[in-house]
Amino acid sequence: MSKKWYYVLAILLVACSWIGNVWYYEANQLGSTVFLAHHVETSDREGHVFDLYYIEDKRADKTLSTIRIEGYPEQIVTPYPKYAEYQRQYLGKMMVNLNNPARGQGVAEELLKEPVLVREITALYSDGTSEQVDVGEIYIWPGTYNEVKPVEWTSVGSSSDHSGYNSAVIKRPLQLTAFSSKFLDIAEEEGALQIYADIPGQVLGISYRPLPSELQMEQSGMPIQEIQLPAKMNQGDSFRISHQFNMPSREKSMQVYQLMLRTTFTEEGQGTWQEDTIIPYHPSPTDKEMTAYVRERRKGL
Amino acid sequence: MRRAWYRILWGLLFVLIDLKVEMVDMLPDMLGYLLIASGLWRLQRLNGYFRLGHLSAWLLLVWSAASLFWFPEVAMGSVHMQSVKNLFILLPAVLLHTALIYGICRGIQAHYTGTESELDRKARFRLHLFMAGQLLLLILYPFMLNLDSGDMMSVIFICSLLVMVAEITVLFLVRSAGGEWNE
């Protein structure tokens, strides 16, 4: 009787270990490649890049090899399949350079008014299969270049807390007339993003006061919604745009944002100029957050 | 009949040792299981434990041949344990191998019970040693899926070492059984 008890106990222990471990393992697997939701504005000009993020199980049989965006034959895609490693998954990214030749000042006016919207891309996998996948919304503006720009960008910085800044110097007198982006609603409605502009005359410009600390510098100026436009700017003035993302929920924090904040200047007798400032946010979840995301995705499937 | 014991001995040796030259196993497991099966075929009339071992040896032979075609990475010994599929591919082989050693040891124990030799006692102790190591391995294998693979590998390595030592003692047991066999 006692010997049989040992055998039953041994079989039970082995069975529990196998069933428990396999169940826990399966509960934490995505099962397929999952692209994060993207809200990206970019330019198709050569040299301009944006990243598409995806998550894959470490032990996936089929992995993403590359992606393709239709309509851009010269595109260059650089894969980073193990951009960040987690216990059971990899966060990968595809760096995309659409690589269209830049258009000069003769670019058609209507082309500059509305960007191309891409929602689906072609994903190509290691087993030779491919599929169309929804990646969110990618607005692609036509790339242009100006040879005699009235604004010169002098420095750029970013921090791991999802903040950053771009500084510029005004080379010729002009007026700042507008800030625009397809995703300004996340700043206005949801409060997930604060964008500040430091413009002489609106607030005490940075050239007129002692330099603040790095943290204060990041958020100097006024929220762009409160700036009175048009704002006059003189030659030699400093101009700074800074931002800070504060995602209100885990769902939001696992989405990818890249705003191309378009600042429009008017120069007397020269027409208008547009300067683009890239404001990026990419998720950097902890292991715990990644596990929670995977489980939520599985529930949603 | 003594030759049957030595076939089992050589068979176990082939299975235990992986002598690879340019990824080719010079002592293939398939040949080992064939030798064990042919040895146990002669012994199976002695008791039911040898019959169990005999059946296990044949099934392991089939599994080794099948895995060579269907799962060559398993046959080459380069399988990664951190996937459910790979774990389940290896599970039948581990269970059958356990049944094989159980059959041999319990067969010897049953056959030599009541004789002057101490083979029954030795067989019992070595079987317990092997079963303890194998049980630990069976419990720990699936943790490879969820725990840090580096830490788990060292734990699995220690358990595998214990099982290997136990199997070497079984080899000596089979040799002694062959030596004491009275035609």
Nearest C-alpha neighbor of A286 from the set A80, A24, A86: A86
Domain count, chain A: 2
Lowest mean pLDDT across B21-25, B117-121, B157-161:
B21-25
pLDDT confidence of residue A210: 44
Q: Domain limits of chain B?
A: 2-180
**Domain match, A175 and A231 both:** yes
**Domain match, A164 and A251 both:** yes
Indicate the residue of A18, A28, A58 with minimum beta-carbon distance to B142. Answer: A18
**Domain match, A181 and A207 both:** yes
Among the candidates A106, A121, A144, a domain finishes at A144
Query: Does residue A45 have a pLDDT over 60?
Result: yes
Indicate the residue of A14, A20, A25 with minimum beta-carbon distance to B138. Answer: A14
- Tell me the nearest-neighbour CA distance from B132 into chain A, angstroms: 10
pLDDT confidence of residue A233: 87
pLDDT tens digits, one per residue of B39-87: 999 898 889 999 999 999 999 999 988 887 776 655 555 445 567 877 8
Q: Which residues pair with A77 in a beta bridge?
A: A96
B114 C-beta neighbours (distance < 10 Å), count: 7
Complex ipTM: 0.83
pLDDT confidence of residue A206: 46
Q: Is A205 inside a domain boundary? A: yes
Q: What is the CATH number of the domain that holds A91?
A: 2.60.40
Q: Which residue has the higher pLDDT, A292 or A114?
A: A292
Q: What is the CATH number of the domain that holds A265?
A: 2.60.40.10
Residue span of the structural domain in which A179 resides: 146-301
Q: Which residues of B touch A26 (CB under 8 A)?
A: 84
pLDDT confidence of residue A13: 94
pLDDT tens digits, one per residue of A114-144: 889 999 999 999 999 999 999 999 999 887 7
Q: Which residues of A touch B142 (CB under 8 A)?
A: 17-18, 20-22
Contact B142 A26 (CB under 8 A): no
Interface of B with A in 88-107 (CB under 8 A): 91
**Domain match, A94 and A156 both:** no
pLDDT tens digits, one per residue of A2-41: 678 888 999 999 999 999 999 999 889 998 999 999 999 9
User: Does the CB of B150 have a partner CB in chain A at under 8 Å?
Assistant: no
Between chain A and chain B, the number of residue pairs with CB atoms below 8 A apart is 35
B12 C-beta neighbours (distance < 10 Å), count: 24
Indicate the residue of A14, A22, A28 with minimum beta-carbon distance to B139. Answer: A14
Q: Which residues of B touch A18 (CB under 8 A)?
A: 91, 141-142
**Domain match, A179 and A228 both:** yes
B146, closest residue in chain A (CA to CA): A25
* Average pLDDT value for residue range A37-47: 89
Interface of B with A in 49-78 (CB under 8 A): none
pLDDT bracket for residue A204 (50, 70, 90): very low
Secondary structure element (H or E) that encloses residue B11, with its range: helix B2-16
